[in-house]
Amino acid sequence: MLADRRLLLKVITMAPIGAGILGFLAAAFFHWNFLNRTHKPLAIKPPLVEPSTKPSPIVENTIKPLPSAYQSKVFMNVAVPTSQKVVALTFDDGPLGGPTEKILKILKDNNIKATFFLIGRNAQANPQLVKEIFAAGHVIGNHSWTHPYNKHTLAGSQAEIEKTSDVIASIIGVRPNLFRPPGGLMHTGLAEYAKSQKMGIALWSADSIDYRARNSPERLIRNIFREVKPGGIILMHDGGIRRTNTSQALPLLIKQLRAQSYKFVTLPELIAMDTKLPSKHIHIAHNKPKMVTTKTL
């Protein structure tokens, strides 16, 4: 009995100590766990952005400022080093469901970036196509709001260009800094206004004449090859009318130009290859661009 009583006493006296030790161990364990959680968050940190099944419509494309030598400059081609066989494909008057989509697909299949001069009201009507053009890495330029050929006042010219840039900027987040006057016409007031805003005025050196719907794809290619040269700017259309000759000619044109070792660049890329940069010398090509008289709208 005495032994039992002693044992009971021992248990009674030891129990709080044991409980204390156990409590300390438990506290240490939870504390360690707590520290562990706060100090090791990187391993279990959730992603900052929720993964989305839809890819972002805008990739890393952006419009970079023009070199100062090209601000307010009118150019039909770019003087590139003679070793560089490069050309820029340009498409005007879009975007238009059908032609623009076909051309985007061909360019994608051939891993080519091009330059699209959009008509403002077409951009407003087809914002998704504008996004697609830009997301694919192509360059977007301004081609006026209504594609006019008649003389405009300063306010009228301003409206044609700024309204277009506003719509484009509302869709892709940046304003174009390249302008192509409708028909290549330099005296309607629009090009003058664009120059006053330091936009580059991009004409062309090789005209496919695809705006004449009766021209066959083969004819378009012949027209281009008659004028193509390194540093050249090729004019085609993805809007205006629902033509098929351009998209039919394009794969063959690409193939034939590649057979002649040509590479395809955007207009800003072509400009960056100008051997005269950073000189402010204004390069004027010998051959003037053809003034388009056929309405493309």
Q: Which residues are catalytic?
A: 92, 237
In the chain, the largest separation of any two C-alpha atoms, in whole Å, equals: 124
Nearer to Zn ion, 146 or 256 (CB): 146
Alpha helices in the chain (DSSP H): 2-39, 41-44, 99-109, 120-125, 127-135, 154-172, 190-196, 217-227, 245-259, 267-272
3-class DSSP state of 237: strand
Q: Residue with structure tokens 């975007």?
A: 95
Pick the binder of Zn ion from 75, 77, 93, 134 (CB under 5 A). 93
Nearer to Zn ion, 182 or 189 (CB): 182
Nearer to Zn ion, 76 or 80 (CB): 76
Tell which residue, 256, 266, 289, 210, has the closest CA to residue 86: 266
For 2, other C-beta atoms within 10 Å of its C-beta total 6
- Name the one range near Zn ion by CB under 5 A: 12-20, 100-108, 174-182, 185-193: 174-182
- Name the one range near Zn ion by CB under 5 A: 18-26, 60-68, 89-97, 127-135: 89-97
Nearer to Zn ion, 176 or 182 (CB): 182
Nearer to Zn ion, 75 or 262 (CB): 75
Rounded CA-CA distance 122/164 in Å is 9
| SS3 letters across 244-277 | CHHHHHHHHHHHHHHHCCCEEECHHHHHHCCCCC
Residues in contact with Zn ion, total (CB under 5 A)? 4
92 near Zn ion, judged by CB under 5 A: yes
Cα–Cα distance list, 186 to 15, 90, 111, 241, 293 (Å)? 100, 18, 33, 23, 13
Nearer to Zn ion, 93 or 274 (CB): 93
- Name the one range near Zn ion by CB under 5 A: 65-73, 92-100, 152-160, 259-267: 92-100
> Which of positions 254-273 make contact with Zn ion (CB under 5 A)?
none
Angle, CA 183 vertex, CA 182 and CA 189 arms, to 5°: 55
> Which of positions 278-297 make contact with Zn ion (CB under 5 A)?
296
Is residue 87 within 8 A of residue 228, CB to CB? The reply is yes
Q: Which residue is nearest to Zn ion (CB)?
A: 92
- Name the one range near Zn ion by CB under 5 A: 82-90, 168-176, 181-189, 202-210: 181-189
Q: State in angstroms the smallest separation of the CB of 144 from Zn ion.
A: 8
Q: State in angstroms the smallest separation of the CB of 234 from Zn ion.
A: 14
Q: State in angstroms the smallest separation of the CB of 82 from Zn ion.
A: 31
207 near Zn ion, judged by CB under 5 A: no
Q: State in angstroms the smallest separation of the CB of 256 from Zn ion.
A: 25
Dihedral, CA of residue 50, residue 51, residue 56 and residue 61, to nearest 10: 90
Please report, as ranges, the residues that interact with Zn ion according to CB under 5 A: 92-93, 182, 296
